[in-house]
Structure 1
């Protein structure tokens, strides 16, 4: 799905939702508790899921999302970033109103498409007098996204497209508070080509869910964590003779990785030799640093010898599954 260039100011839009789109939307009562809300999330694909379906969410893969929707793993985690996002939603909406002069109100409903009932939407605000909604975001100050240049993360864009596809609105305004750095807002206009591409991807994903068929895995940390949560323990052995090709590919790639790492280290050493006693070096395009850094670390061996009781008390057993490939010689 192609992401269109975003505009930093809003255009005057049409009044009221089109009748055809409106007739394709079902209004649902918003769950009264967070527990009910979490349970309802597994009944379909919401706006925050769209980026994962498309492989655009850096924190959650399509495979992880599938595991959650099919209840292979649990999804009841809550963290400080999520808490701040919820608590600051009202403030972000207020800033948007202050910046634009537009009026917004909360919706008393969630939304579902009739023809694609797996498509669900819980919107933050409705723009009064305009066929549009507002999405409120809170982002980390460490973000590398260049909001000043009109950029938004791809998964934010996917969420906006999902809301347009599900609710039938003409546009989505997105307001983003970057903690301690700035406030930005943009408008994502309706794009039928992007919407159709998203619907197709979400339908394919939801078919995996309803058929309890695993989607392809990727190499993300999210997928690795989902597999570990799904299979925390290992027992016995399994026949993998049909997977010789993939095992050989892993070994070949690992050998290539080692070779590349050696080449990188060689080039780094050449630059270190050039720097010598200097901490910095510059070219027209780059700055190279090789400076002394100090850290305080616990000497585990000294602690064990001098304070064995404390060392024993501080030890903690951890369990994990170690993945490795070994060559075996079998007699024919």
Structure 2
């Protein structure tokens, strides 16, 4: 079954219109997040996005530069690919598609890649990365595709139902961009598609439609999600009574706090013990490096230095007084919070 065309040209949509259309279903970039394959998002954050629940600290306007550069680089990736692989022709595709029978599955494709000698067509995904992320693509001649990108492509194949594969072209910035250019091809796998369709269906029907938060996976970056809860709700000084179902969690948090306190105490004791052991050795070396060999193994001792730059608080105070305009130009305020749990006996218990 062929897909429906939901939007004929997404470039004619405003940013807000495009986001509204994206909320009508699950897109390719949502798929790995729902499956738990993304390092940068989670099913809960996708759920918030689909229901238009604010959770980001920064607005789309704050990210305009990054998004615009990304759009420009897609064309650069295509140009580099066609130059390095002249047997291929790439056609941009600005339509938004909808699965023929599952309307909550949608897709925005970057392009279609056509192999001119055979006429075979593949979905094309244009990617960029830095040198550090290049390792996720494996050696140049391997067929490694990062898992999140792989399932993004498999989502597209499921929606389109007319392509046998996805061709990835990734431009790595910052090094030898021609040598580091990665091209990969994955073929359609119906068994993997069944898995992703099942997971996406559960997410859409049992969570988005019913407005029930999805649970957090064990691998979720919960610290990031907790920060986003603060972005979502803002500051609230009210005291809210908790239901008894949370009592076990609160007791476990208190137990964890006690264990961490004990570990920190042990760490400080070990640090002091290490310093006592180091003292006679360093006193003997008188500032030099040292080594010792017993014929079977060798020990080496040397000083490793770390450097950092900072401004003392006293100097900042002087700067604020002496050149307030300069101080206000460069000073930045960061507020970070943390949650504490305390347990106190109720007054009735104290009487007993």
When normalised by structure 1's length, the TM-score is 0.79
- Aligned residue for 1:145, secondary structure, equals helix
1:159 to 141, 144, 152: 152
Whole-Å separation in 1 of the counterparts to 2:262 and 2:165? 50
After TM superposition, give the deviation of residue 171 of structure 1 in Å: 0.6
- Equivalent positions of 1:1-332 (< 5 A) are 21-22=1-2, 25-28=3-6, 29-31=8-10, 32-35=12-15, 36-73=17-54, 76-77=59-60, 78=63, 80-100=65-85, 101-128=87-114, 129-143=119-133, 144-148=135-139, 149-168=142-161, 169-181=163-175, 182-207=180-205, 208-217=207-216, 218-240=220-242, 241-258=244-261, 266=270, 273=278, 278=289, 291-304=304-317, 307-308=320-321, 310=323, 314=328, 322-332=338-348
Matched residues in 2 for 1:288 and 1:159: separation?
50
Contact 2:89 2:113 in 1 (8 A): yes
Partners of 2:302 and 2:36 lie apart in 1 by 35
Matched positions, count = 306
Q: RMSD over aligned Cα, in angstroms?
A: 3.4
For 2:49 and 2:301, locate their aligned partners in 1 and report how far apart those are by CA, in whole Å: 44
Cα pair 2:36 2:42 within 8 Å, conserved: yes
Unaligned stretches of 5+ in structure 2? 283-287, 292-296
Structure-2 separation of matches of 1:268 and 1:224: 35
Checking the alignment, whether the CA contact within 8 Å between 1:304 and 1:311 is kept in structure 2 is no
Secondary structure, aligned partner of 1:56: coil
Q: For residues 307 and 198 of structure 1, do their structure 2 counterparts lie closer, same or farther at Cα, with a shift above 3 Å needed?
A: closer
Task: Tell me the SS of whatever aligns to 1:72.
Answer: coil
Bigger Cα Rg: 2
Q: Is the 2:143–2:185 contact (alpha carbons within 8 Å) kept by the matching residues of 1?
A: no
Rate the CA distance shift 1:167–1:307 in 2: closer, same or farther, 3 A: closer
Residues 279 and 291, structure 1, Cα contact 8 Å, conserved in 2: no
Partners of 1:57 and 1:269 lie apart in 2 by: 42
Would the alpha carbon gap of residues 119 and 331 (structure 1) be closer, same or farther in structure 2, given more than 3 Å must change? same
Q: Which runs of 5+ in 1 are unaligned?
A: 1-20
Counterpart-to-counterpart distance in 1, 2:191 and 2:144? 20
- Higher RCO (C-alpha 8 Å, min separation 6): 1
CA contact (8 A) 2:77 2:171 kept: yes
Alpha-carbon shift at residue 151 of structure 1 (Å): 3.1
1:155/1:61 CA distance change after superposition, 3 Å: same
CA contact (8 A) 2:107 2:159 kept: yes
Question: Where does residue 12 of structure 1 map in the other structure?
Answer: none
Contact 1:56 1:154 in 2 (8 A): yes
SS of 1:239's equivalent in the other structure is coil
What TM-score, normalized to structure 2? 0.75
Q: In 2 relative to 1, CA 61–222 (structure 1 residues): closer, same or farther, beyond 3 Å?
A: farther
Is the CA contact (8 Å cut-off) linking 2:136 and 2:145 kept in structure 1? yes
